[in-house]
Amino acid sequence: MISIENLVVSYKKDIYVIDVLNLEMQKGKIHGIVGLNGAGKTTLLRVIAGLKNPIRGTVKAFGETKFRKKIAFLETENFFYSYITGREYLSLFKNNDFNNDDWNTLFALPLDESIETYSSGMKKKLALLAVIRQNKPILILDEPFNGLDIESCGVLRMLLIQLKEKKTIIVTSHIIQTLTNLCDQIHYLEKGKISFSSESQEFDELEQNIFKTIENRHQTLINALSEKLQ
Amino acid sequence: MIKSFLQIRLIQTKRIADQLGLPRAMLLIGLLVLAGFFLFYFAKDSAKATYVTIFFLGALLVLHLNRPDRFFLQTHFDRYKELFFAEYLVFGLPFAAAFLFYEHFLHTAVLIAGIIAILPLKLKLQQNTLNTALQRLLPDHCFEWKSGVRRSFFLIIPAWILGLSFSFLVGSIPVTMVFIGIIVTTFYERSEPLQMLLAFETKPELFLKQKAGNHLLVFMVLMLPLFLAFLVFHASLWYIPGIIFVVLTSILLYAIFTKYAFYIPNSKSGAAGFFQALGAAALFLPVLIPLLWLLTIRFYFKSIKQLNPYLHDFD
């Protein structure tokens, strides 16, 4: 279980990206984090992954504050070292039980080619294989579906559902439907706080609420601006 | 077109100098003056001028084959080779001036002919798919070497084979060692992405120790046959490759620690680039070696500090 208490994160003085955030995420569930651009999703994930220090508050996993070794983290943008092959990249992550070729049948990547020849979707799949290869109890996946083709999205969804009994999985997305089809719990991040959390049976209501809020906020302006177009 | 292109390069150089800050920029200017002095000193003698020409063209070849802006220039300019030529001519100008000063007209002609010969060379496509036994022999964690050997395969391997083949000539092995040494220092230009750093799951001290040890070992394996071949033909001069080897290993260690002293995930730091160029310059300006040793110690501790935010909670 991951437990976050009174978390405050800032990049600039007096501007808080995360502002007194409390959250508990149980093992055996897929947790979705949704929010507008700049809401603090990536920052929250980086703090959980131990890559950004908070000003205040604590993040604990399995009761410990030092748990970097238990995390596999997929970043939004996936960068690789030039002139190495997919197979060489995967071999950096130690796991003798993970057969690259067996797992690669799911994604059909040209593992012996230099990563520079990969498309952005292929790079995402390679980064996902690396995350799975690490076989850590906590998976943090920032926008894992971005750039994936429809089949790979399906494969990833099935895979995460299969893995959730053994792991704590956190996924972010800009697209709410991606999360409602996958997650057991969705947390809505707004202005640095979790404004509400929903269980799977409440997802329809959550979607409606989100769209209603957006409508209320922007419909009048959209109407006014559209009128000026031919 | 060429004028505006060179102006852009000038602006870029100024920006890099701004990034470096005044003390480092002054140091750089001082080093360039010192390099100019040594260049004129070496160019005086015809035989030494030949070595200078070989070094210049070799270094230019490495630069040309690895330039990252090639695709951009090819797609945006029809006469991109003229741009390359103008740029290389500017680099070669001090060398040509030195040769002309001492009336080495043949060297000047070879220099210009060499630049023209390099222009059409392009090996990137083959390098992308290159998967030789050599790459497989390199340990998994030496990704800089896997990447670097793939990128510079057509320079390192022919140079290594030629060096061995002509080892009966006294200059062959030292030149080969220095040439390969320069290429190896370029392996550490770019910082790896964060996930690749985290994959090692070790504290900064241990990470640096393992990295330095493993990479020195790979470098020694590459250099040992050259060293032995030199001993076969010129045993009494054993100290020449010995000294070169010590200098090259110093520069290798320095390059590793410089990279991590300025580590920012997936980037190429201007300051790191400056200090790495200083390391390469030490091959030609031995007076810089003691400075390099001091900086190596400083950058070791700076690397620990720089890596700490990423690796601090690994046991």
d(CA B180, CA B182): 5
Q: What is the pLDDT of residue B241?
A: 94
pLDDT of residue B204: 94
* Amino acid at the residue B297: I
Q: Can you give the pLDDT at residue B130?
A: 67
Q: Do A53 and B309 touch (CB under 8 A)?
A: yes
Interface-testing mutation among B195, B200, B266, B312, with chain A (most A C-beta atoms within 10 A): B195
CB contact under 8 A, A75 and B129: no
Q: How far is B118 from chain A (nearest CA, A)?
A: 22
Q: What is the pLDDT of residue B124?
A: 57
Rounded to the nearest angstrom, the minimum Cα separation between B95 and chain A is 32
pLDDT for A28-76, tens place per residue? 999 999 988 888 899 999 999 888 889 999 999 988 888 888 999 998 8
B128/A114 Cβ within 8 A: yes
Q: How many other C-beta atoms lie within 10 A of the C-beta of residue B63? A: 14
Contacts of B12 (CB under 8 A, 6+ apart): none
Q: Which residue, among B244, B130, B125, B128, has the nearest Cα to B184 in the 3D structure?
A: B244
pLDDT at B83: 87
Scan for tokens 């798919």, then name that residue: B129
Contacting residues of B for A66, CB less than 8 Å apart: 313
CATH of span A2-202? 3.40.50.300
pLDDT of B197 strictly over 80: yes
Please give the backbone phi and psi of residue A36, each rounded to the nearest 5 degrees, phi first.
-70, 170
Q: Where are the domains of chain A?
A: 2-202
Residues of B in contact with A96 (CB under 8 A): none
- Cβ distance of B143 and A88 shorter than 8 Å: yes
Work out the minimum CA distance from B144 to partner chain A, whole angstroms: 8
- Lowest-confidence segment of A18-32, A58-72, B22-36, B163-177 by average pLDDT: B22-36
Angle between the N-to-C axes of helices B2-20 and B80-101, in degrees from 0 to 180, rounded to the nearest 10: 70
Are the C-beta atoms of B161 and B228 separated by less than 8 Å? no
Contact B169, B47 (CB under 8 A): no
User: What are the chain A neighbours of B141 within 8 Å (beta carbons)?
Assistant: 92
Residue A185 backbone class (left: φ over 0; alpha: ψ -120 to 50; beta: rest): beta
Query: What does the pLDDT read at residue B286?
Result: 81
Alpha helices in chain A (DSSP H): 41-48, 86-91, 100-104, 120-134, 150-163, 176-180, 203-227
Say yes or no: ipTM exceeds 0.85. Answer: no
- Report residue B167: phi and psi, to 5°: -65, -15
Taking CB atoms and an 8 Å cut-off, how many pairs form between chains A and B?
74
**DSSP-assigned letter for residue B282:** T
* Chain B CB contacts of A75 below 8 Å: 194-195
Distance CA B113, CA B56 (A): 13
At B129, which amino acid appears? T
Taking any CB pair shorter than 8 Å as contact, residues of chain A touching chain B are 50-51, 53, 66-69, 73, 75, 78-85, 88-89, 91-94, 112-114, 116-117, 127, 130, 134
pTM of the shown model? 0.76
Collapsed DSSP state (helix, strand, coil) of residue B181: helix
CA distance readout (Å), A32 to A23, A36, A201: 12, 13, 14
